[in-house]
């Protein structure tokens, strides 16, 4: 069970968070868009830390689960906590894919595919613009003003 509050932001806070997004982030997070490959800010990020939802700040993936998939998007073999991700069948673009959304705010993150490395065999292929990053030792964002455990570093 997650230690993080997965209740969605109230309407007023959601409006504030959305207003703070740039156009690309809105297109991806809110309209289920995709950023161009090989250009995202986190594609080559090698720092140790936690990747968070770009809208609500929920911790999603640890850098220790990141790998170079060669696809042009940041890829991870496992989420930090499976409860932090929701999976939705996506039939767009003439194919069947599994979309990943933030379990707290519903923002589009990317897709998961069954062609990743051990131990999971999963490739969580995410848009950099849909993510935030918190370096190890830095406090996690408390974007919803709900207090702990956000605001504390992850162990």
Which positions are catalytic? 125
Beta bridge partners of 49: 135
Report the candidate in 121, 104, 34 with the shortest Cα–Cα distance to residue 74. Answer: 34
Report the candidate in 119, 72, 81 with the shortest Cα–Cα distance to residue 102. Answer: 81
In the chain, alpha helices (H): 11-19, 23-29
**Cα–chain center distance at 36:** 17
The backbone torsions φ and ψ at residue 134, rounded to the nearest 5 degrees and listed phi first, read -125, 120
Helix, strand, coil percent values for the chain (each to nearest 5): 20, 25, 55
């Amino acid at each position: 069970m997650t230690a993080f509050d997965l209740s969605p932001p109230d309407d007023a806070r959601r409006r504030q968070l959305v207003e703070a997004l740039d156009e690309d982030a809105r297109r991806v997070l809110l309209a289920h868009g995709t950023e161009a490959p090989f250009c995202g800010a986190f594609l080559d990020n090698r720092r140790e830390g936690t990747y968070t939802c770009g809208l609500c700040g929920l911790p999603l993936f640890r850098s220790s689960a990141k790998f170079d998939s060669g696809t042009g998007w940041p890829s991870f073999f496992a989420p930090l906590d499976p409860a932090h991700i929701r999976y939705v069948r996506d039939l767009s673009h003439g194919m069947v894919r599994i979309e990943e959304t933030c379990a707290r705010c519903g923002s589009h993150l990317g897709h998961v595919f069954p062609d990743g490395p051990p131990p999971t065999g999963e490739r969580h292929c995410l848009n950099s613009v849909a993510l935030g990053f918190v370096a190890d030792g830095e406090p996690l964002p408390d974007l919803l003003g709900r207090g702990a455990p956000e605001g504390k570093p992850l162990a």
